[in-house]
């Protein structure tokens, strides 16, 4: 490295003198170099004099900031390290991030890459992220136009907003650019169909923003996160399948998808990702769905019917409010919690088929629906119970299934 070149030159004559001795030298067998495992943990030991072992470099900036191998680290309030930048004078090419630092009797673990840590670093070509990292924050690598290689270990749970924005040298598969398991976006936004590759875990923020020609997208099993405005303004997108593996979907991921008519959801928890989508006509819920959260399908005014699978245990308040075209709904026996009115302002609702034998308690004064003329179909032995139950007995027609 440049900052140690003078020391190296000063010691070089001594090294040459030692090697030029006329004394015969014993044969020393060449020891094989230790095999370096890809992405193996890198723990740096720094002694009390501030010298790093193992060929690493250490430069202290202040009590909370320092450089290791020209990458900047900062301690946070939890006593952990976050990758916070790079040495603009000496950094070259590849960033091999450490897993931990041992210094002054303490071991500090690296857990995150901070916002804008490598932002606009146009000489960054590769990043090796250790599997102790759990969070990569907003714009951590945005504008790294020469970045060609990065790994995102399974320990990473969060990738922040526009973390890889403008990383135009990352590899692409089937016209989609990836940072390992993180989908950055399409290389061509005029196509009608996209096929996300297997192994993808994250669909990034704004990934397919304004892909107005796209009519279909294949989201494979294994995708955990769909980021903010990921499909915003995809005005021709007609169908979407949410896999069982999905755990976090931004509330505005499908905003302004005005042609979206059929959705299939297989993940355990359904949140309000598709509320206020009047174009949706059909919703298919898979047999792994257990929870429909508050306002999940509120104002889906094009929806006419919905079958809730046997696996569902909880339906949140307002889940189907203002579904003005909804005519029938089926509530399975396994539902144990209905958090207040779920079908308010549904003027076309004619029939509710409820297979729950004991009427679920509703909050005081709440009604399952405001349409008193809707017929409630319940198990024969439960008719009288529903006629006496608050919130249910508002309905005038309660009959046996």
Distance CA 89, CA 93 (A): 12
Q: What integer is the mean pLDDT of 180-208?
A: 97
Is the Cβ–Cβ distance between 268 and 293 less than 8 Å? Answer: no
pLDDT band, residue 364 (cuts 50/70/90): low
pLDDT, residue 39, reads 61
C-alpha 217/C-alpha 228 separation (Å) is 17
Taking the C-alpha atoms of residue 12 and residue 4, their distance in angstroms, rounded to an integer, is 12
Residue 29 binned pLDDT confidence (cut-offs 50, 70, 90): very low
| pLDDT grade for 265, boundaries at 50, 70 and 90 | very high
Least confident of 123-132, 136-145, 232-241, 365-374: 365-374
Q: Do the Cβ atoms of 85 and 117 come closer than 8 Å?
A: yes
Question: Which of helix, strand or coil describes residue 52?
Answer: strand
**What number of residues does the chain have?**
401
pLDDT in tens, 195-223: 999 999 999 999 999 999 999 999 999 99
pLDDT score for 1? 41
What's the rounded Cα separation, in Å, for the pair 4 and 377?
A: 82
User: In angstroms, rounded to a whole number, what is the distance separating the alpha carbons of residues 342 and 362?
Assistant: 10
Q: What is the pLDDT of residue 318?
A: 93
Question: Looking at residues 245-265, what average pLDDT do you find?
Answer: 96
Is there a contact between 138 and 107 (Cβ–Cβ < 8 Å)?
Answer: no
Percent of the chain at pLDDT exceeding 90: 80
- The pLDDT of residue 91: 86
Cα–Cα distance for residue pair 174/397, rounded to 1 Å: 56
Among 3-12, 66-75, 98-107, the range scoring the smallest mean pLDDT is: 3-12
The reported pLDDT for the residue numbered 305 is 86
pLDDT for residue 34 is more than 80: no
Beta strands in 219-355 (DSSP E): 225-226, 239-242, 248-249, 262-265, 269-270, 282-285, 291-292, 305-307, 314-315, 328-331, 337-338, 351-354
Given pLDDT bands bounded at 50, 70 and 90, which one contains residue 16? very low
Is residue 188 within 8 Å of 212, Cβ to Cβ? Answer: no
307 falls in which pLDDT band (50, 70, 90)? confident
| End-to-end CA gap in the chain | 80
Domains of the chain: 39-167 (3.80.10.10), 171-260 (3.80.10.10), 267-401 (3.80.10)
Residues 22-61 as b/e (b if ≥16 CB within 10 A, e otherwise) read eeeeeeeeeeeeeeeeeeeebbbebeeeeebeeebbbbee
Could you give the residue ranges of the DSSP H alpha helices within 268-400? 383-388
The arithmetic mean of pLDDT across residues 117-133, rounded, is 96
More confident: 289 or 372? 289
pLDDT tens by residue, 347-363: 999 999 999 999 998 88
> Are 273 and 253 in contact, with CB atoms under 8 Å apart?
yes
DSSP-derived pairing of the beta strands 375-378 and 397-400: parallel
Q: How confident is the model at residue 105, as a pLDDT?
A: 86
CA torsion through residues 21, 23, 24, 26, sign: negative
Q: What pTM was computed for the model?
A: 0.85
pLDDT score of 19 more than 70: no
- HEC readout, 305-327: EEECCCCCCEECCCCCCCCCCCC
Does 27 have pLDDT greater than 50?
no
Instruction: Tally DSSP H helices, then E strands, for the chain.
Output: 2, 32
Q: Please say whether the beta carbons of 200 and 179 come within 8 A.
A: no
> What is the average pLDDT value for the chain, to the nearest integer?
89
φ and ψ at residue 399, rounded to 5 degrees: -130, 165
Confidence of residue 365 (pLDDT cuts 50, 70, 90): low
| Distant-in-sequence, close-in-space partners of 61: CB < 8 Å, separation ≥ 6 | 67, 72
Check whether 172 has a pLDDT greater than 70: yes
Nearest Cα neighbor of 351 from 287, 384, 307, 288 is 307
The confidence score (pLDDT) of residue 43 equals 96
Q: Which of 4-8, 221-225, 312-316, 373-377 has the lowest mean pLDDT?
A: 4-8
């Amino acid at each position: 490295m440049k900052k140690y070149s003078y020391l190296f030159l000063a010691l070089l004559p001594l090294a040459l003198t030692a090697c030029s001795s006329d004394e015969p030298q014993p044969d020393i067998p060449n020891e094989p170099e230790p095999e370096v495992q890809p992405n193996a943990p890198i723990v740096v030991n720094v002694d009390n004099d501030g010298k790093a072992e193992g060929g690493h470099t250490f430069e202290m900036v202040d009590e909370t900031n320092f450089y290791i191998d020209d990458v900047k680290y900062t301690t946070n309030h939890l006593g952990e390290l976050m990758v916070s930048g790079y040495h603009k004078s000496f950094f070259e090419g590849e960033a091999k991030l450490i897993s931990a630092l041992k210094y002054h009797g303490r071991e500090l673990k690296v857990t995150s890459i901070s916002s804008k840590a490598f932002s606009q670093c146009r000489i960054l070509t590769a990043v090796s992220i250790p599997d102790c990292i759990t969070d990569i924050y907003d714009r951590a690598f945005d504008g790294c136009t020469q970045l060609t290689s990065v790994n995102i270990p399974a320990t990473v749970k969060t990738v922040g907003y526009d973390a890889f924005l403008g990383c135009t040298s990352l590899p692409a598969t089937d016209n989609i650019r990836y940072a390992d398991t993180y989908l950055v976006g399409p290389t061509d936004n005029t196509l009608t169909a996209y096929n996300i590759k297997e192994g993808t875990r994250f669909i990034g923020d704004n990934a397919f923003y304004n892909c107005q020609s796209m009519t279909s997208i294949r989201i494979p099993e294994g995708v955990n996160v769909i980021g903010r405005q990921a499909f915003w303004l995809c005005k021709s997108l007609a169908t979407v399948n949410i896999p069982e593996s999905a755990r976090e979907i931004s509330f505005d991921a499908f905003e302004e998808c005005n042609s979206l008519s059929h959705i299939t959801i297989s993940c355990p928890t359904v949140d309000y990702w598709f509320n206020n989508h009047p174009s949706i006509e059909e919703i298919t819920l898979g047999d792994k769905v257990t929870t429909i959260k508050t306002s999940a399908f509120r104002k889906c005014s094009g929806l006419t019917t919905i079958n809730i699978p046997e696996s569902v245990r909880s339906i949140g308040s307002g889940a189907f409010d203002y579904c003005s075209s909804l005519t029938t709904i089926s509530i399975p026996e396994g539902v144990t919690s209905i958090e207040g009115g779920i079908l308010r302002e549904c003027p076309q609702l004619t029939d509710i088929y409820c297979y729950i034998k004991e009427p679920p308690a509703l909050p005081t004064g709440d009604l399952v629906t405001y349409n008193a003329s809707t017929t409630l179909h319940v198990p024969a032995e439960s008719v009288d119970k529903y006629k006496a139950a608050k919130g249910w007995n508002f309905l005038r027609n309660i009959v046996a299934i």
